[in-house]
Amino acid sequence: MTTCYHCGDPCKEEVIKFEDKSFCCQGCQTVYEILNQNDLCDYYKLEQMPGISPKVQKQDKFAYLENEDIKEQLLDYKDDSISRTHLYLPQIHCSSCLWLLENLYRLQPAIQQSRVNFLKKEVTVTFSNTEFSLRQLVELLANIGYEPEINLDRIDQPKKKAISRKLMYQVGLAGFAFGNIMLLSLPEYFGLDLESYEEFAVWFGYLNLLIATPVAFYSGWDYFKSAWISLRSKRLNIDVPIALGVLVLYIRSLYEVVSQTGAGYFDSLCGLLFFLLLGRIFQEKTYHRLSFERDYKAYFPISVVRIKNNEEKTIPVNEIQKGDRILIHNGELIPVDGILIRGDAQIDNSFATGESKPISKESGDRIYAGGRQQGEAIEIEALRPLSQSKLTSLWNDQVETIKTHNHFSEITDKISEWFTPIILIIAIISGVLQWANGLHAVVQVVSAVLIVACPCALALAAPFTFGHTTRWLGRQNCYLRESAVVEDMANLNHIVFDKTGTLTYSNNQSVNYNGTPLTAAQQSDIHTILRQSNHPLSRLIFNSIQQETWSTISEFEEIPAKGLTAKVGELRYKIGAPKWVGMNIKNTNDSVVAISINDEPIGYYTIFNEYRTGLDQLLNKLSTNYGLSLISGDNDGQKDRLISMFPKGSELIFNQSPKEKMDYIEQLQNQNLKVMMVGDGLNDAGALKKSNVGVALAEDVNAFSPACDLILSAEAFNQLDQILTFAKSAKKIVIISFIISFLYNIVGLSFAVQGLLSPVTAAILMPISSISVVGFSTIAVWIASKKVK
């Protein structure tokens, strides 16, 4: 029967010919024409007949996507020109799907970017909403065979994905056939030689063949397909020996039944696929469970200043309610959608869209979550409570800050590249050695070797262990961007600390003013200017000034590592580093913030640095396993005190700009060091991004930074050594899991090559090995967590 060039389905009702190619329906032909017109036919080179046959859509099927309330639920981000959404596409099944969906921009220029999460079967799309709507995007996907599954009743809830229905059918068919073939084969098992049975033996053999054939080619189809793709790409994956084992069993059984020389091995074949597919169900449920828990456990600590009854109070963002008025400082992330009430909003949306050019907003304009204010502080009125899942999605998917991780899953793939040919060689040698015992023995040995050697447990060890580790760290107020960060933490050998706001408290420190006495008007101006900034020193001085009136400022700017500049009426204020302000201050051991008006220095604030409790002990513990450095933008007035706190041999550097901090991290990495940078997430973004693991310390301010890999609550700072020890334990658990899997294979192979292990027994043992590895990793992580106090 003719098959469709696009989707591979049989052309039952009609055959449409187009450019010497056959299509089963008008929809498949249309998709081919779309791809052909846009030079996207490489889609068919990656996989043969990879397409999905698009269903005929009603003209108004997606009209509900024009509703603003529904669009708000489906969009992760939206501004006046850019929208971003992620959609679940259950049709994703191969590399061609991934390639086509990541080239959507070639089908529609309004699509700026599309990225696929193959495991979750999700695509994240950023598009221009002035040229293209959400409804048009969904219609485009549906027209090329990838209609999104949209369930509005569960849109705000983490949804546990169901096991593939096809997989359930495959398991059901294999289990049904396995049981019935065993019943028909009972006389063979017991060695009965009754004449009455002999009359039916031939018919039982053909009946078993009839039952087993759909099992071999439907239940085993995914193994055959995966093996064929692997061979065609000139590489060997782990499904090759399985497919070969199934094929050997089927052909040998077919020969025995047709030639009437035996009953065949149909029971072994069906039992083999039944237990293999049970193992696959177990693996899918494991991945789905990890993914599901990650969706709602990946919260991170962001707080925000709420203005109520003219009082400013820091609250967690998840307590924001509709109608609350919140204050967003310079450089802070906007956590919720809102209406601009006061201030000059210059919104940097690079976190959400990649576009870094600030967008101006006026009072009354709508501002969307995910933007970052650049300039003076603004007040917005929240339109709705926090959608934590959307903000988490932005953090997890932010492309510019994702680092290259050496996942254990990549090691697993590399292992399979040499593991599979070794197993094939062992199977061939074993078969040759068993040849003297007859073809039956050869089939048994080769099949058992091919099945028992499947290292499926390796695929579960790393994600399950790191998933448990990530969840435990979350309970300790340590929030990771992704579970692969655990491995990077385990490989660290050097830690770099920022000083202000990291080693020191961001509040409860004494502040003293020295210089020309300030008038009430000047205090009001300074108080207002400091209110715009989120730097720890700015917040300390701001809180120390008792002032209830506010000035009107203009031309505000915060310059990293230097300070603040703003204009109030005809007065130009500069508040920041003494040298930048134009003041020479000597012999001070404390942090200093100088002030000038119209370029005339008038005085300075000294801030007594109060270091975090237990800092000395933490640094001593860390020094046993890590090199330590301090790199600060402040002066070196505290150098002697810090030298006494840091272990001997630590490097302490002061008066560093953000660029110099980043260069220092790179310098350490050039010495083959794996570096963790611990900062406050404000002036350290470049260094956090450059380091192998960037840690933003969060206290009672919005310290969230998209450049970091890990957000650590200030309460958990003294546990940093224990957190790193736990990460190392997690890596050891994965390695031990690998060893357990290899030992299982060695023991299994030792029995299989001797002909002491049947294919069915091997298939039963394989999911048991996966369960044992997952069970070990679960218990081991729990035990490791109990050792960390």
Partnered with residue 575 across adjacent β-strands are 564, 595
What are the backbone dihedrals phi and psi of residue 130, each rounded to the nearest 5 degrees, phi first? Answer: -85, -20
> Tokens representing 71?
């669009």
More confident residue, 218 or 743: 218
pLDDT number for residue 668: 94
pLDDT of 2 strictly over 50: yes
Report the pLDDT averaged over residues 400-415.
48
Does the pLDDT at position 702 exceed 60? no
HEC string of 559-617? ECCCEEEEEECCEEEEEECHHHHCCCCCCCCCEEEEEEECCEEEEEEEECCCECCCHHH
Query: What strands lie across the sheet with 359-361, from one edge to the other?
Result: 359-361, 345-348, 372-373
- Is 399's pLDDT higher than 50? no
Assess whether pLDDT exceeds 70 at residue 351. no
**What are the φ/ψ torsions at residue 699 (nearest 5 degrees)?**
-110, -120
pLDDT at 394: 65
User: What pLDDT does residue 665 have?
Assistant: 92
Least confident of 170-179, 541-550, 734-743, 755-764: 755-764
In this structure, are residues 339 and 383 in contact, taking their beta carbons and an 8 Å threshold?
yes
Task: Out of 104-108, 258-262, 488-492, pick the least confident.
Answer: 258-262
Element housing 496 (H / E): strand 494-497
pLDDT of residue 292: 44
d(CA 351, CA 332): 12
Q: What share of the chain has pLDDT > 90, as a percent? A: 15
Confidence label for 340 from pLDDT (cuts 50, 70 and 90) = very high
Tell me the two tokens of residue 251: 């052909």
Rg (CA), the chain: 33
Number of Cβ atoms within 10 Å of the Cβ of 184: 20
Q: What is the pLDDT of residues 468-501, one digit of tens each?
A: 888 788 878 888 877 778 888 999 999 999 887 7
Between 777 and 196, whose confidence is greater? 777
394 within 8 A of 77, measured Cβ to Cβ:
yes
Element containing residue 183 per DSSP (H, E): helix 165-184
| Half-sphere exposure at residue 709, Cβ-oriented, CA atoms within 13 angstroms | 25
554: part of which helix (H) or strand (E)? strand 554-559
- The size of the chain, in residues, is 789
* CA 241 to chain CA mean position, Å: 31
For the stretch 13-22, pLDDT in tens is 677 788 778 8
If we measure between CA atoms, which residue out of 482, 469, 498 comes closest to residue 688? 498
pLDDT at 763: 55
Per the prediction, the chain carries an average pLDDT of: 79
Is the predicted pLDDT of residue 144 greater than 50, yes or no? yes
Token pair 């997430």: residue: 681
How far apart CA 406 and CA 607 sit, in angstroms, is 43
3-state secondary structure of 197: helix
pLDDT-derived band at 646, boundaries 50, 70, 90: very high
CA dist 209 and 223 (Å) reads: 20
Mean of the pLDDT values across residues 205-209?
A: 87
* CA–CA separation, 718 and 741 (whole Å): 37
Cα separation, 527 vs 542, whole angstroms: 6
Query: Collapsing DSSP states into helix, strand and coil, what is residue 109?
Result: coil
Alpha-carbon distance of 427 to 725, in angstroms, equals 42
Structure tokens at 36: 């052909």
> In the chain, how long is the greatest CA-to-CA distance?
118
Quote the CA–CA distance of 124 and 117 in Å, as a whole number.
8
H or E element: which one contains 244? helix 239-259
The rounded distance, in Å, linking the Cα atoms of 744 and 315 is 52
Structure tokens at 692: 């192998």
Residues 104, 35: contact at Cβ < 8 Å?
no
Taking 80 as the threshold, does the pLDDT of residue 217 lie above it? Answer: yes
**Exposed e or buried b for every residue in 674-707, given b needs 16+ CB within 10 A?**
bbbbbbbbbbbbbbbbbbbbbbbbbbbbbbbbbb
Q: What is the pLDDT of residues 506-550, one digit of tens each?
A: 665 678 898 999 998 999 999 999 988 877 788 888 888 887 778
Q: For residue 729, how far is the Cα from the chain centroid?
A: 21
Q: 108 to each of 60, 454, 505, 540, 683, how far by Cα in Å? A: 21, 43, 51, 51, 39
Alpha-carbon dihedral angle through residues 543, 544, 548, 551, given to the nearest 10 degrees? -80
Using alpha carbons only, what angle is made at residue 226 by residues 221 and 231, rounded to the nearest 5 degrees? Answer: 125
Mean pLDDT of 132-149: 87
- Of 700 and 671, the structure prediction assigns the larger pLDDT to 671
Domains, the chain, ordered by start = 1-53 (no CATH), 63-154 (3.30.70.100), 165-294+408-463+750-775 (no CATH), 303-399 (2.70.150.10), 477-504+611-727 (3.40.50.1000), 511-607 (3.40.1110.10)
Quote the pLDDT of residue 296: 38
pTM for the structure as a whole: 0.65
How high is the pLDDT of residue 400? 41
Q: What is the mean pLDDT of residues 411-434?
A: 73
Q: Amino acid letter at 234? A: K
Q: What percent of the chain has pLDDT over 70?
A: 78
CA–CA distance, 323 with 334 (Å, rounded to integer) = 15
Inter-residue contact 335 to 371 (CB < 8 Å): no
Looking at residue 546, its pLDDT comes to: 80
DSSP string, 325-376: EEEE-TT-B--S-EEEEES-EEEE-HHHHS--S-EEE-TT-EE-TT-EE-SS
Instruction: Please answer whether residues 774 and 464 qualify as being in contact, where contact means their C-beta atoms are separated by less than 8 angstroms.
Output: yes
Residue 480, CB-side half-sphere exposure with 13 Å CA sphere: 24
Q: Give the residue-averaged pLDDT of 580-600.
A: 84
Q: What's residue 396's pLDDT?
A: 60
More confident residue, 660 or 682: 660
How many C-alpha atoms does 689 have within 13 Å on its Cβ side?
17
State residue 693's pLDDT score. 92
* End-to-end CA, the chain: 67
* Cα-based distances in Å from 507 to 501, 502, 504: 9, 12, 9
Instruction: Using alpha carbons, select from 620, 704, 716, 65 the residue that is nearest to residue 395.
Output: 704
What is the C-alpha separation between 148 and 134, in angstroms, rounded?
A: 12
Confidence of residue 427 (pLDDT cuts 50, 70, 90): confident
